[in-house]
Amino acid sequence: MSATTNSINGYLIKNVSPNQWWITDSADEQVAGPFESEQAAVEVASVLQDQPAPAARRRNNKS
């Protein structure tokens, strides 16, 4: 990957080749892309939201 990396809304915008930008998470997993411009990737990353993990179910210990 190229050295060009920006952080938007907790996501990383990475330039992987000329005219190819990807949105990745902090674990470097691809979230969206490829985009033709950095601006397009920034616009998408600015509206992405992480979904919270589902609530843990409580077990009812009936004996």
Domain assignments of the chain as residue spans, ordered by start: 7-47
CB-based contacts of 21, cutoff 8 Å, min separation 6 = 13, 14, 15, 33, 34, 35, 36, 37, 38, 40, 41
At 62, the pLDDT band (50, 70, 90 cuts) reads low
Instruction: Indicate the burial class of 45 (C-beta count within 10 angstroms; 0-12, 13-18, 19 or more).
Output: buried
Whether the per-residue pLDDT at 12 is higher than 90: the answer is yes
Each residue's pLDDT tens digit, 32-47: 999 999 999 999 999 9
Quickly count: other Cβ atoms within 10 Å of residue 17's Cβ.
10
